[in-house]
Amino acid sequence: MTKERIALVGAGAAGGALLLALHRAGYPIAGIASRTLASAQRCASLTGNPPASEDPAPAVVSADIIIVATPDGQIEPVCRSIADQGVIRPGQLFLHLSGARTADTLKPAAHKGAEVLALHPIQSLADPEKGAQLLLGSWFCLEGSAAAIGRGTALVEALQGQTLVVPADKKALYHAALCVASNYLITLESLAVTLLEQLGINRQDGLKALLPLIAGSVDNLAHSGLPDALTGPISRGDTTTIAAHIDALRQIPPDYQAIYRMLAKETVKLALEKGGLDQEEAEQIQLLLTPQPPDECLIS
């Protein structure tokens, strides 16, 4: 079966990674356009040297699938500019890679008869060559019409990937989940490093010391799943250790104490689900995690 011809508009890390992965999977590349000719040419050098330009029109006119891989705020204006050039034809598929924006962001192309799709790789893509490797076997979120999702699924399957289909009105919630899993993981480790700083350990050494622990936790999660990957004092009902934590945390800013308490309360729920914690132990830990009001001073 003949593979569809692909054009890329926006030759950054994410777009470049996806284009390179699809090129390696046998998709012909119609052309590449980017804000600067140099970036378009760099991407072209990795994908068989298709035509590279600052103008997307030549690539779009000869492509079946157009990947608009610009920053989120530029997707709609860039798509509108392409539509205004009169190079979009019915039957083409326009897709963007944003996790937060819906397929409707590409409505200027839809108004010209194209199918539109949001195709978001659930992967961290900082470099085209490394990113192309990471995309193999990754999960992708698809949102759009049934026809657009069908064509997007074919692209994902060519990369041995798997798909999540999310309705447009749930796209922001989907993206929030990914931010918790990825971005806020970094924030959480920064908090842990900050706690180690209270012991006189510098941030660089603190992070190095934590990385094997983090990697082990992720490995447990991959192999054991939820909730079985959970370990630690809450999972085994160790109220003495939790009480010691609460006492020690009085030495740090209240905001950090609140974060610890919130995460610990969620961990109690997970530990109950796992079965390593009974209801009485859970209630004892929840009581420890509840902030106590300061003692009132009585004035006689």
The predicted structure's pLDDT at residue 297: 45
Assess whether pLDDT exceeds 90 at residue 292: no
Average per-residue pLDDT in the chain?
A: 95
Residue 12 has pLDDT above 70, yes or no: yes
Mean pLDDT over 10-34 rounds to: 98
Q: What's the pLDDT at 13?
A: 96
In angstroms, what CA-CA distances link 200 with 203, 205, 210, 227, 255? 9, 10, 15, 34, 20
Percent over 90 (pLDDT), the chain: 92
pLDDT of residue 293: 66
Q: How far apart are CA 209 and CA 199, in angstroms?
A: 13
Residue 95 CA to residue 222 CA, distance in Å, equals 30
Indicate if the pLDDT at residue 298 is higher than 80. no
d(CA 135, CA 122): 9
pLDDT per residue as tens digits for the range 228-238: 999 999 999 99
CB 55 within 8 A of CB 37: no
CA distances from 78 to 69, 87, 117, 118 (A): 10, 13, 15, 15
**Which range, of 91-105, 130-144, 279-293, averages the lowest pLDDT?**
279-293
Report residue 296's pLDDT band, with 50, 70 and 90 as the boundaries: very low
* Measured distance between the N- and C-terminal CA atoms of the chain, rounded to whole angstroms: 91
CB count within 10 Å of CB 14 equals 23
In the DSSP assignment, the letter for residue 1 is -
Tell me the pLDDT tens digit for each residue of 87-105.
Answer: 999 999 999 999 999 999 9
Task: Give dist(CA 156, CA 136) in Å, integer.
Answer: 9
CA angle 248, 253, 258 (to 5 degrees): 80
